[in-house]
Amino acid sequence: MSNGAATTLWAQAFCDELARAGVREVVVAPGSRSTPLVMAFAADDRFRCRVHLDERSAAFFALGVGKASGRPAVVVTTSGTAAANVFPAVIEAAQGETPLLVLTADRPHHLRDADANQAIDQIHLYGSFTRAFFEVAQPILHEPAFAHLRALAGRAVAEASGSPRGPVHLNFPFDKPLEPVLGAEPFRTEHQLAGAGRDDGVPFVQVDVGRREASPEALEALVAAVATPRGVIVAGPTTEGARLGEAVWALAGATGFPVMADALSGARFGPSGDAHVVAAYDLFLRDDNVRDSLTPTLIVRVGASPTSAALQGWMKHHGGVRHVVVDGGSRWKDHGALATEYVQADAADTLASVAELAPMSTDPEWQASWRTAEAAALAVLSGDVEHRHEGHVAGIVAATLPQDGTLFVSSSMPVRDLDAFGHPHAEGITVLGNRGASGIDGIVSTAFGVAAASDGPTVCLLGDVAFFHDQNGLLWSREKDAAVIFVLIDNDGGGIFHMLPIAAHEPGFTRFFATPHGLDFRHVAEMHDVPFQDAEVESFSQHLDEAIALRRSCVLRIRTSREENTRHRREVTDAVSRSVREALARSLDLHTKPILMK
């Protein structure tokens, strides 16, 4: 019997088990060595198979599906540098705790390290960034081998979907012939369980993915800790926004603690109930006097490190305060070394349990101080019509998206602007981003993957450099179920570098950091038949409403000036700091006057 028949059944059995485990999205980058896997996926109508010419773009699309759905998508590549091009998405999946299955085809063992064409060392190609790596055995018509293969597929899905989620790499050595070959039917009939799988359609082995639970002692200690007059909750970025957001709101409602919710935390936007989700903290926590006025007795932190440098600075400013981190993942999430206690348990479950037992002990003056600061900041922002800048665009996007909308926000300045100017509201929009490694590569492709796994409209907020990095991603606009509205902030270069001290060092700064490119991205959109429209900040909301109503991919470009934006951001921040500082001083004066009179 030919090796080709064994290879064909081998690939079919593995793909069958992925489908039984719930995998539905498969992204293929063309290549010869991966033919057995590609043809097996294509012949199985349980999968939605998509194709892209660029492996990097294909991998980021699969990443986007995982971010939006919480379930791993598959990316399939051939051997050699094709597999290497997947690496950036693997890194983001690892750091961002996003499920992803990477299936790389490889040369058979006798062609490795022997000068064979397109053969590189693919064993542990992605190093420590994978949750697991499996060198799959070469196909053989042997019952125990097929049983092991089917179990391996279930293990791979479980590893990718575990706590924390992440990428799993499976490397498949295939020998020729690679195209489908018949002839394995007798083996399938004789060894039905291994060859055809279980009769009832369930996986060969069902793997239960558990979550870390806090011990009774840890829960008791947390309940005692939140019985404090000036506590706060800091919610950082997470891949489980819906679960974590509700738990944060529950604990905040029970304790009265104000919440500093990152835009990607799941606790910024939505029906927060009695919880006070503070707006504009990124703008007023930069001021040392304000920081001194808002001194906590307890910080409870969940999620990854917050986007806001001002919030991180405020926590560092109060480094001696009791600081509890709750996280169930494997990565240590305290780069500032500020934690006094670290509870390794599922954050959403732990906070929800504490909320059921937590006392309401917050000092009303503490709550009033945060509301005073917030109101003073919002008063400045609502009255500022002269200093419109890129941050206002981020705020408009967050306010305009409908209840079922998804916002995918790029790293660099867009996510920072959203954090500063995207104010909390009751509409439950979903906000996602590639903040694991904070790269700007793959933004366009990831947004399309997010759209494919989302029901409502998807908007992607990004800058021109990120758009440039992933121009190939616009090929995904051909997917009918993955429409994305790209809000392109085009300031002709790297605007974020203007916020750094290096900006004062010309002429090197402009050439090596700001890097003006002079490109007109209209031509890129036209090449992919994607509608492209210029808009002004003042009329942008109307343009966005119209684009959302159309529900097709398009680009809305807003041209800005890097220098003017930097100046306006600083002016707004200074105005907010001044207003909040004065408001807190007046509030403190009102509270102390009765004492002084006595």
Domain(s) of CATH 3.40.50.1220: residues in the chain:
216-377+573-594
Q: Above 70 in pLDDT, residue 384?
A: no
Q: Above 90 in pLDDT, residue 495?
A: no
Would you tell me how many other CB atoms lie within 10 Å of the CB of residue 293? 18
Q: Is 439 helix (H, G, I), strand (E, B) or coil?
A: coil
What CA–CA distance (Å, rounded) separates 252 from 231?
Answer: 10
Q: Average pLDDT for residues 193-202, to the nearest whole number?
A: 90
pLDDT above 90 coverage of the chain, percent: 83
Query: Angle CA(414)–CA(378)–CA(568) in degrees, nearest 5?
Result: 50
Distance of CA 391 to the CA centre of its chain: 20
Write the secondary structure of 93-131 as one string of H (helix), E (strand) and C (coil). Answer: HHHCCCCEEEEEEECCHHHCCCCCCCCCCCCCCCHHHCC
Assign a CATH topology to domain 390-559: Rossmann fold (3.40.50)
Using DSSP bridges, classify how beta strands 73-77 and 25-28 pair: parallel, antiparallel or unpaired.
parallel
Q: Is 25 helix (H, G, I), strand (E, B) or coil?
A: strand
Nearest to 468 by CA among 438, 434, 494: 494
DSSP category for residue 346: -
Q: Above 70 in pLDDT, residue 2?
A: no
Residues in Cβ contact with 90 at an 8 Å cutoff, skipping those fewer than 6 apart: 59, 100, 102, 126, 129, 130, 167, 169
pTM of the model: 0.95
**Could you tell me the pLDDT band of residue 582, with boundaries at 50, 70 and 90?**
very high
* Per-residue pLDDT tens over the stretch 522-552: 999 999 999 999 998 888 999 999 999 998 9
Q: Per CATH, the architecture of 3-196 is what?
A: 3-Layer(aba) Sandwich (3.40)
Longest dimension (CA), the chain: 100
What CA–CA distance (Å, rounded) separates 38 from 100?
Answer: 17
Q: Above 90 in pLDDT, residue 256?
A: yes
8 Å CB contact between 288 and 220: no
Write down the pLDDT at residue 545. Answer: 95
Write down the pLDDT at residue 565. Answer: 83
Write down the pLDDT at residue 51. Answer: 97
Sheet holding 258-261, edge to edge: 276-277, 258-261, 231-235, 298-302, 322-326, 341-343
What CA–CA distance (Å, rounded) separates 569 from 575?
Answer: 10
Domain(s) of CATH 3.40.50.970: residues in the chain:
3-196, 390-559
Residue ranges in 77-215 assigned as alpha helix (H): 81-84, 87-95, 143-161, 185-190, 192-196
Q: Above 70 in pLDDT, residue 516?
A: yes
Q: What beta strand segments (E) does 10-109 contain? A: 25-28, 48-51, 73-77, 100-106
Q: Above 90 in pLDDT, residue 423?
A: yes
Nearest to 555 by CA among 507, 505, 520: 520
| Alpha-carbon dihedral angle through residues 281, 283, 286, 292, given to the nearest 10 degrees | -40
DSSP category for residue 341: E
Is 427 or 245 the better-scoring residue by pLDDT?
245
Query: What residue type is 29 in one-letter code?
Result: A
Using DSSP bridges, classify how beta strands 276-277 and 298-302 pair: parallel, antiparallel or unpaired.
unpaired
Write down the pLDDT at residue 564. Answer: 86
What CA–CA distance (Å, rounded) separates 160 from 66?
Answer: 10
What CA–CA distance (Å, rounded) separates 584 from 522?
Answer: 48
Q: H-helix or E-strand containing 171?
A: strand 167-173
Write down the pLDDT at residue 217. Answer: 96
8 Å CB contact between 171 and 123: yes
* Per-residue pLDDT tens over the stretch 17-64: 999 999 999 999 999 999 999 999 999 999 999 999 999 999 999 999
C-alpha neighbours within 13 Å on the C-beta side of residue 383: 9
* Per-residue pLDDT tens over the stretch 79-94: 999 999 999 999 999 9
Of 400-404, 567-571, 576-580, the poorest mean pLDDT is in 567-571
What are the beta bridge partners of residue 484?
458
**Could you tell me the pLDDT band of residue 596, with boundaries at 50, 70 and 90?**
very low
Q: Above 80 in pLDDT, residue 590?
A: no
Of 73-87, 250-264, 486-500, the poorest mean pLDDT is in 486-500
Of 59-68, 378-387, 483-492, the poorest mean pLDDT is in 378-387
What CA–CA distance (Å, rounded) separates 528 from 549?
Answer: 21
Write down the pLDDT at residue 597. Answer: 32
* Per-residue pLDDT tens over the stretch 337-382: 999 999 999 999 999 999 999 999 999 999 999 999 999 999 999 8
**Could you tell me the pLDDT band of residue 387, with boundaries at 50, 70 and 90?**
low
**CATH class of segment(s) 216-377+573-594:** alpha beta
* Per-residue pLDDT tens over the stretch 159-191: 999 988 999 999 999 999 999 999 888 898 889
